[in-house]
């Protein structure tokens, strides 16, 4: 692990956990758009932690997503499903945050929470942070 980023890695993993909890609360309250957004952010924070662990920093979501595929999915360190889930969560977040008349269905929000939880667990496993 890059000691330089150790505190940031831990903080990002904590934010990922909190984002999952927030997504669950939002979904339970009927706020599917916001639940989907929080689910995406859980995966984003987990991805950021993994990339920091490798010594990479990005300022854009697209950079994080691209490097997750490059560093972890293509190399087999993360399952292809994790990469697909990250892409889908990003697309779903766009609907939740910017969809105008389109909205995230409650079933999709629940699926997003499951996908984000699985992604976070995969990242934690890869980093030895179970």
Predicted pLDDT at 2:
57
18-53 per-position pLDDT tens digit: 999 999 999 999 999 999 999 999 999 999 999 999
70-101 burial, b for 16+ CB within 10 Å, e for fewer? ebbbeeeebeeebbebbebbbebbebbeeeee
Architecture of the domain whose range is 3-127: Up-down Bundle (1.20)
In terms of C-beta density within 10 A (0-12 exposed, 13-18 middle, 19 or more buried), how is residue 130 classed? exposed
pTM for the model stands at: 0.94
Predicted pLDDT at 77:
95
Q: How many CA atoms lie within 13 A of 88 on its CB side?
A: 16
């Amino acid at each position: 692990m890059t000691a330089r980023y150790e505190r940031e890695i831990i903080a990002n993993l904590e934010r990922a956990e909190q984002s999952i909890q927030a997504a669950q609360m939002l979904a339970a309250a009927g706020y599917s758009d916001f639940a989907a957004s929080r689910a995406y952010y859980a995966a984003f924070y987990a991805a950021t932690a993994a990339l920091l662990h490798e010594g990479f920093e990005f300022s854009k979501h697209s950079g994080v997503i691209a490097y997750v595929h490059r560093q972890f999915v293509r190399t087999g360190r993360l399952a292809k499903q994790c990469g697909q889930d990250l892409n889908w969560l990003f697309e779903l977040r766009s609907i939740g945050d910017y969809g105008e008349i389109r909205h995230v269905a409650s079933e999709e929000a629940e699926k997003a929470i499951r996908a984000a939880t699985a992604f976070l667990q995969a990242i934690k496993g890869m980093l030895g942070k179970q």
